[in-house]
Structure 1
């Protein structure tokens, strides 16, 4: 009997909710405005420009080139070969988009942008010349721009290779701990290396298959993974995961190793992560990175679970052990 009463009550509630929903839906339909908002041609052009160029009026840039030359007169005067004056804005100057003009007859670049540094310093420049010399004022966008610079990437590759080679030589000479080869009994270092490789692969994949998505993110960057597209959300989550797991690795290394060995281990891990970022972000652009990534995941997991996983704890001193038997720390037998 109680069950029947519960079913009857539930059914009554469902019927009531359905009727109310239908009633509200009808009222919303009747009260909906019958006329749509009409946009002017200028407003439509502005929306189209934002959708294709990712910025609009009042957008802020920072000059990254040595200087940007601006034309004081109107673009039509430049196209008609009339006399014009120029002025310059310089590196680190903050400028804002004051006006956008499309001139189809310009064979060089049909988009002209008027930018202003202050009330007395403003002028026109081709969009292509502007974007090559500026970066969005957002710190995240500036970070992305810095790490996309070809000269910096080449410099980082050279420094990373030299540093890792030196660290590996030192580590193997001292038989010190190093991730994947002579690892500590924690999964966090392996997990951090895998996260870096995954993030680099995903980063290159976005640039390869969804460049518009990355371009929009570049102009409207954020660290919130829940207000962007799913693919960018996954990438941002992996960035946060790197930070969190990295802190866990530092804590684990500090507890399991002496201070000097922990520092050497963390430096070696940082070198491995740097190589992972460089190799997978570049190799993925040529598709071979996917095969390398799958092989690397298999190698990293196999090395940890077959050689370095500590499933036991010494009953005498509490040291972690990979298998039962004599404790490597205190010598106690564990069965």
Structure 2
């Protein structure tokens, strides 16, 4: 009798393992081994981590660096210059320019000018997000240049917005969003052609988790959770707390460069932590205080997500739903 019970228990365990395997095969079709280039990421971040408020020498250097990197990675690199009391420059890169729809990944590259902290580099506030976007392009470069190239159903756009930070009253913490407002206003990419927009910000502090902010892209947020779980089970992630959670925080959000697009009905995801980093808008927001396990895992999770979205476009685009969106408190 004991032997029979043991056999039944063994069979049950095997069945659970098989069911688990089938589940992940279902949520991860056409999976591939993706390895992030950590040396490239570190070098990229080092090139961005400098004071770079709009109009500064560091700002021009970072803009040139972003443009050159997009060129070298095979993107059509564009400088979108605009004037609003001073010159601002959005930097964007496009793959498959003739596609009918686009996945658009965005962040801001300018840093805030702080009179009390002239060497403020905004590590979590822009710099890490910029490096992540370029690292996704570098990690997936062979796929993007070969298999993905010349598709007409989906293209990829990376946008590094300028004018995110307020400049007229530098002591204030509100965002001006000059670059993203102008981009949406003139439709640098036609808004109807942006299938989903993903904005990254404030990434790299310890103990932060990432929740869903919008119901119409909750299915994609669930996919991020599933990808993190899969990578964790396969031993590919660095030891760290869980980043993405299937929690709907749809009543709150942090103002960011996705707002001008949201107000025009573009489905959006905001990859931003549940709270501001401890050293936000202080000189302590530097490389010393970054939490590297979370950054490494975020790099890998997002690279897998972008690959999966592009590779299985028809399936994943069906998870995105359109509806008119009202910004919290009426929006900016």
Same fold (TM over 0.5): no
Q: Which has the higher helix share?
A: 1
Q: TM-score w.r.t. structure 2 length? A: 0.20
Q: TM-score w.r.t. structure 1 length? A: 0.20
Larger Rg, first or second structure (1 or 2): 1
Compare relative contact order (CA 8 Å, sep 6+) and give the higher one, 1 or 2: 2
